């Protein structure tokens, strides 16, 4: 379960991973700053620059609250977070940005080997969350990267984008609802032993023009309800049966052809007949 502060705590957790797993000598600082904020000459920086909603997960149906089977809660707000990973180091007169590249490569190794943030690096409120926090490399288009740096008016630096998903923020307790009461429906006629289920044995005739009557005969039909549909049109709708025979009429609007006629007797017996509609 994630609290509303989950976004900030996830950023701190990513920093914990880098601090705990990077093996550079001497160690470098790990910051969570915007590109235009000063943070030291030699460091690796995480910048959260985009948050997107996972519409599929957010639009799920309400579910039973864990530990409270009599309460239902709306689906949590589900988010994907995009981070810019940038290395900073003083330029060498001969090797230029090589030191920054070393720092960046080491940070990429750490995220590659810890693509699911380990539990020990998660901030306290994220420990035990139902979701896993997955770190995925997400290549940036050079033009998009240039626009990002141009926004801050800073010289371009090689950067890597990572997407972390899925962060779920739960709704407040006042948005919970009680679980609806279950309704038990007892229908008629009663089923008593010995039970003889309804059966339709025959449809006559099996062809005819629009408006012609069709007769269905069978056994144990008395007291049940019949539904008949032809080409998506309901001819009989839960008609109460008396005796072991009943009729239905071929509906208007059907062109001469063969059609499936679907028959249902109170959900206990179903059968499909082939009906030829003639001119």
* pLDDT tens digits, 5-60: 899 999 999 999 999 999 999 999 999 999 888 888 899 999 999 999 988 887 77
At residue 231, the pLDDT reads 87
| CATH code assigned to 199-277 | 2.60.40.10
Q: Longest C-alpha distance within the chain, in Å? A: 102
| CATH code assigned to 6-175 | 3.30.2000
Residue ranges of the chain that CATH labels 2.60.40.10: 199-277
In the block, tokens 């990513």 appear at: 14
Q: Tens of pLDDT along 61-81?
A: 777 766 667 777 788 888 999
End-to-end CA gap in the chain? 66
Q: Could you say which residues of the chain have pLDDT below 50?
A: 1
Residue ranges of the chain that CATH labels 3.30.2000: 6-175
Kindly give, in sequence order, each residue whose CB lies less than 8 Å from that of residue 42, ignoring residues fewer than 6 positions away: 28, 29, 88, 89, 90, 99, 103
Its pTM stands at: 0.59
Distinct helix (H) and strand (E) counts, the chain: 4, 16
């Amino acid at each position: 379960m994630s609290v509303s502060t989950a976004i900030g705590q996830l950023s701190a957790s990513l920093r914990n991973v880098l601090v705990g797993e990077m093996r550079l000598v001497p160690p470098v600082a790990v910051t969570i700053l915007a590109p235009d904020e000063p943070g030291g000459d030699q460091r690796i920086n995480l910048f959260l620059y985009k948050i997107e909603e996972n519409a599929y997960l957010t639009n799920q149906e309400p579910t039973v609250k864990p530990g409270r089977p009599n309460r239902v809660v709306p689906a949590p707000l589900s988010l994907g977070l995009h981070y810019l990973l940038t290395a900073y180091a003083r330029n060498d007169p001969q090797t230029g940005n090589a030191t920054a590249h070393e720092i960046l490569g080491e940070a990429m190794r750490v995220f590659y080997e810890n693509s699911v943030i380990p539990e020990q690096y998660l901030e306290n409120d994220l420990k035990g969350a139902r979701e896993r926090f997955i770190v995925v490399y997400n290549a940036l288009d050079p033009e998009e990267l240039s626009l990002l740096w141009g926004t801050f008016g800073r010289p371009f630096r090689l950067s890597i984008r990572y997407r972390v998903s899925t962060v779920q923020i739960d709704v407040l307790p006042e948005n919970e609802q009680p679980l609806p009461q279950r309704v038990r429906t007892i229908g008629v006629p009663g089923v008593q032993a010995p039970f003889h289920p309804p059966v339709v044995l025959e449809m006559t005739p099996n062809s005819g023009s629009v408006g012609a009557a069709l007769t269905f005969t069978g056994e144990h039909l008395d007291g049940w309800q019949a539904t008949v549909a032809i080409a998506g049109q309901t001819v009989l709708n839960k008609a109460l049966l008396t005796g072991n025979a009943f009729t239905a009429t071929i509906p208007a609007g059907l062109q001469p052809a063969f059609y499936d006629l679907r028959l249902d007797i109170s959900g206990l017996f179903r059968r499909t007949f082939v009906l030829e509609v003639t001119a």
